[in-house]
Amino acid sequence: MLAVKNIETWYDLIRALHGISFEIRQGAIVALLGSNGAGKTTTLKTIMRLLEDDQPEKGTIEFMGKRIDRMDTEEIVRLGISYVPEGREVFPELTVMENILMGAYTRKDRKGIQEDIDGILKQFPILSERRNQQAGHLSGGEQQMLAIGRALMSRPKLLMLDEPSLGLSPLLTKEIFNIIQKINQQGVTILLVEQNVNMALKYSHYAFLMENGRIVRADKPEILREDDDVKEFYLGIATETSVKGYKRYRRKVRFR
């Protein structure tokens, strides 16, 4: 569905992406993981053409066999890609309903728009209850549901989510991931950037690990969860290797 090939993205004189390449198959939930500053958000914004006009500097991006790396963002949305940014970025002074309608700005089919609104309010009952309330007065979890609902209004084939659990409680995080899974089961492919690596690996079908603007590992979640480096650096689990290293360090300190 999506093919990113040798992409380089720069911020002024700083290269943020170092020739990254990856593919996403239709119908999958794919996680893009890594520490802060690894290049995850830059990757999503590069795909959506939300950076400078000349981005990316090198490489190509294809969606459903069509090259999109020189298209306008609006054209990309029309083709079937929606993006939920980090921090949700709802329109705080607009109502819940007005925010949802903003997601349909590229559409003209009134009947279809109303059907999708009804479907989203059914999927997110709390939004139905708050439909006339200003979005800025919603809780973090409610705003995340609103941002996802708004993105679904363009009827995406691919939904890209940037840190959907950011700032949410463990209970709300689980609820958001259950929603993501249901959306995927309805036929929408998901590209997910997430700091909660444990949850991302639990719900995804495939994952890429990024470091310093490069993809350094790609595998199935069940394999990554058993990798010592992933356990230690991403899941915070002490491995046999790390424990032995720590014991050696303690012995050196004791006899210094």
Residues 198 and 253 in one domain: no
84 vs 162: CA distance, rounded Å: 6
CB 239 within 8 A of CB 248: no
User: What's the pLDDT score for residue 104?
Assistant: 93
User: What's the pLDDT score for residue 256?
Assistant: 45
Residues 241 and 197 in one domain: no
One-letter amino acid of 188: V
Decide if 203 is inside a domain.
Answer: yes
Count of the separate structural domains present in the chain: 2
For residue 215, the Cα-to-chain-centroid distance in whole angstroms is 16
Core vs surface per residue 50-61: b (16+ CB within 10 A) or e: eeeeebbeebeb
For residue 32, the Cα-to-chain-centroid distance in whole angstroms is 7
Decide if 127 is inside a domain.
Answer: no
240 vs 246: CA distance, rounded Å: 10
CA geometry: angle 95, 154, 84, nearest 5 deg? 70
Decide if 128 is inside a domain.
Answer: no
Decide if 195 is inside a domain.
Answer: yes
Core vs surface per residue 137-170: b (16+ CB within 10 A) or e: ebeebbbbbbbbbbbbbbbbbbbbbbbbbbebee
Decide if 145 is inside a domain.
Answer: no
**Residue range of the domain that includes 221:** 2-93+155-225
Residues 193 and 252 in one domain: no
Residues 73 and 14 in one domain: yes
Decide if 106 is inside a domain.
Answer: no
User: What's the pLDDT score for residue 53?
Assistant: 58
107 vs 155: CA distance, rounded Å: 10
CATH number for the domain spanning 31: value is 3.40.50.300
**Residue-level pLDDT, tens digit, the chain, 256 residues:** 999 999 999 888 889 999 999 999 999 999 999 988 899 999 999 999 998 755 678 999 999 999 999 999 999 999 999 999 998 889 999 999 999 999 998 888 999 999 999 999 999 999 999 999 999 999 999 999 999 999 999 999 999 999 999 888 999 999 999 999 999 999 999 999 998 999 999 999 999 999 999 999 999 999 999 988 888 887 777 655 544 543 453 454 444 4
User: What's the pLDDT score for residue 55?
Assistant: 66
Residues 219 and 243 in one domain: no
- Residue 235 φ/ψ, nearest 5 degrees: -105, -10
